A and B are shown apart, each in its own frame.
Chain A
Amino acid sequence: MDAQTLQQTLKEQQARLEEGLEEARDELSDLNRQVISVIKRRPGTCLLIALAAGFVIGRMASR
């Protein structure tokens, strides 16, 4: 494998990686939007769930 082929392969890998990162970023951004939308739609329920989850975690941590 000569240097030019190696360089080409590395460039392809980099492009693929960048594409994957971009997709992951988009998916995370979508997820973030959905979570925020749910929290804004039902703030009381979400707060209560978070409170309950914290309580359970605290209980588990205290043992």
Chain B
Amino acid sequence: MARKPHPPSRKSGNGHAHAPSPGLGARVRSLNRAAHSFKQQVRTTASDFGDALDVRRRVRRHPYAMMAAALSVGYVLGGGLFSRTTIRLLGVAGRVATLPIIRGELIGLAEAILAGSGEATDEVSGSDVPSPS
């Protein structure tokens, strides 16, 4: 039995028919539209993000804190987090932060000692030595 030859078709190997290829101009226009759409989406997302964070209001309220936060973020992004400078800075910051606490404790201790010695002196003067009046 002789096989009939297949009629000439425009199908490719995967069975799909080839669409007529668009011209270069159409492709460029399509790419342009996609780029515009992407730009719009990025702009909208950035705007929404800005609204959600409300950066302007935060900066107006706490200008120095926001600047410090931006500086810190930049520092971390710059790769300075795990460096010797950071360790030194943290050490200095820790010392500065604990200094008032230690000072307060020492003052409290000194006051307690002074009060204790004052009471002891009063007791001693009250029991043994007669008051001058």
Binding site for B on A (CB under 8 A): 35-36, 39-40, 43-44, 46-48, 50-62
Contact = CB atoms under 8 A, between A and B. Distances in A.
A48 B70 CA distance: 8
Interface residues of B, number: 26
Given A50-B70, A58-B76, A58-B77, 5 more contacts: A44-B56, A47-B59, A54-B77, A56-B78, A58-B79
B74 A57 contact: yes
Interface of B: 55-56, 59-60, 63-64, 66-68, 70-86
A62 B83 contact: yes
A56 B75 CA distance: 7
The 6 A-B pairs with the shortest beta carbon distances in the complex, nearest first, are A54-B74, A58-B78, A58-B80, A50-B70, A61-B80, A43-B59
